[in-house]
Amino acid sequence: MMALLSFWSFILVGCFAVSLAGASSLSELYPALWEESPGQFSDFKVENNVYIINPWAYLDRMGMYKILLNNTARYFEKFGPENEQNILWGLPLQYSWQHKTGRLADPSKRTSCGYESGDPLCISVDSWWADVNYFLGALPFLAAVDSGILGVSPDQVKLLPPPKDQMKFCYDVSSCLLSFPEKMTKWNLFYQYMQSPSSNFDGLLKHLWDAHSASLENTGDRFKDRYAYYSKPEEEFGKNWTLIVEYLAASRFPTTMIRVHEAQKGLPPRILLDTDVAPFISDFTSLQNTLLSGVNIVSSTHKLTGSSSLTLWKLLMNTQLARRVIVEIVDRFLFIVN
Ligand SMILES: *[C@@H]1O[C@H](CO)[C@@H](O)[C@H](O)[C@H]1NC(C)=O
Ligand SMILES: *[C@@H]1O[C@H](CO)[C@@H](O)[C@H](O)[C@H]1NC(C)=O
């Protein structure tokens, strides 16, 4: 168990630098096509006083995040300037990583959805990543609408369905509350806590990760028929990644802009192929190879111990002191390497 703990700390240390790392302004770290995405409701199509958003188009889905980040900025002002400390940055940045690495395109390659040669900004419903991301995009957005912080009423927003499997998703506040009550409730609780004057950073992280975990619960499996379109390593990486997120959740990893941006340098820069074996992937950086090996080791340990490694990790991360130690290790390490 100590080995797991030290290994995990090592992974955290290796990945999460907290510096601007060469960027001269925060806007260089924004998700792909952030500036081009809709930033207010009036940028979307309106029909009978209802805003129509197409979450199967890259810019529209990003637009939901942009509105969310804009309208929550004031609650994070007390933690730092320029909205950098907004812990919701993790969501659009991960979505942007999926786009840049080809993970939102049609993995079956039956359509040109998501490819340069066809419609590069199309999001394929056959993409496992895109489907799972829906639960971390549409749901937090609609819950924010429901909680009143976006300034529109719940019956004023409708999302468009994908070309198939429409029953697997929900499209407005009322139907999402009906279909996914636990997930929506957890996001609502986060927004409620965020608005309370006594909210603190650690509490915000706790509520955010609770909602994040709830959104992912049973979600990957809901789209398991998509695995057939991927190589074995990519399928396993997807499954293993949802597991890793549980460990991140327990440590309440601070998903602020710079931290997430730095961490993403360790994520696989393209879809994994059958021949990819970490840490020997020649076109990956050593950080990317190390992170992927780390993902393997944590996943194997998890399975070998029948998930008691996660129970133990949660126990260890139960005190603010332990979580601080992890962040401290990270920051010290960076001080040394920088
Ligand atoms: C939010 O959006 C408004 C209007 O688009 C803009 O003026 C403002 O600067 C934005 N605020 C933040 C924190 O991004
Ligand atoms: C996922 O984890 C399993 C162990 O549970 C491991 O065998 C496999 O190599 C991992 N794959 C990736 C790509 O992380």
pLDDT in tens, 144-199: 999 999 999 999 999 999 999 999 999 999 999 999 999 999 999 999 999 999 99
Give the residue carrying structure tokens 């020649």. Answer: 282
Residue 54 has pLDDT above 90, yes or no: yes
Q: Is 299 in the pocket of ligand 2 (CB under 6 A)?
A: yes
Contact in structure between 141 and 65 (CB atoms under 8 Å)? yes
Q: Is the pTM of this model over 0.75?
A: yes
Indicate left, alpha or beta for 256 from its phi (over 0: left) and psi (-120 to 50: alpha): beta
Q: Is 73 in the pocket of ligand 1 (CB under 6 A)?
A: yes
Of the pLDDT bands very low, low, confident and very high (cuts 50, 70, 90), residue 321 is confident
Residue 83 Cα: closest atom of ligand 1: 13
Cα 310 to ligand 2 centroid, rounded to whole Å: 16
Cα 8 to ligand 2 centroid, rounded to whole Å: 16
Q: Is 175 in the pocket of ligand 2 (CB under 6 A)?
A: no
pLDDT tens digit sequence for 70-120: 999 999 999 999 999 999 999 999 999 999 999 999 999 999 999 999 999
**Residue 113: both structure tokens together:** 């959805």
Question: Letter for the amino acid at 147?
Answer: S
Q: Is 84 in the pocket of ligand 1 (CB under 6 A)?
A: no
For residue 239, the ligand closest to its alpha carbon is 2
Q: Which of 4, 240, 271, 304 to mutate to test the pocket of ligand 2 (most atoms within 8 A of CB)?
A: 240
The three-state secondary structure class of 133 is helix
91 closest CA partner among 72, 74, 110: 72
For residue 230, the ligand closest to its alpha carbon is 2
b/e sequence 88-114, b meaning 16+ C-beta within 10 Å:
bbbbbbbbbbbbebbbbbbbeeeeebb
**Residue 69: both structure tokens together:** 């980040």
* CA 200 – CA 31 distance, rounded (Å): 26
- Alpha helices per DSSP H over the chain: 2-15, 58-72, 90-100, 128-134, 138-146, 173-179, 181-195, 201-216, 219-222, 232-250, 257-263, 286-304, 308-316, 320-337
Where is 45: in which H helix or E strand? strand 45-47
Q: Is 40 in the pocket of ligand 1 (CB under 6 A)?
A: yes
Q: Is 27 in the pocket of ligand 1 (CB under 6 A)?
A: no
Q: Is 236 in the pocket of ligand 2 (CB under 6 A)?
A: yes
Percent of the chain scoring above 70 in pLDDT: 90
Q: Which residue CA neighbors atom 12 of ligand 1 most closely?
A: 70
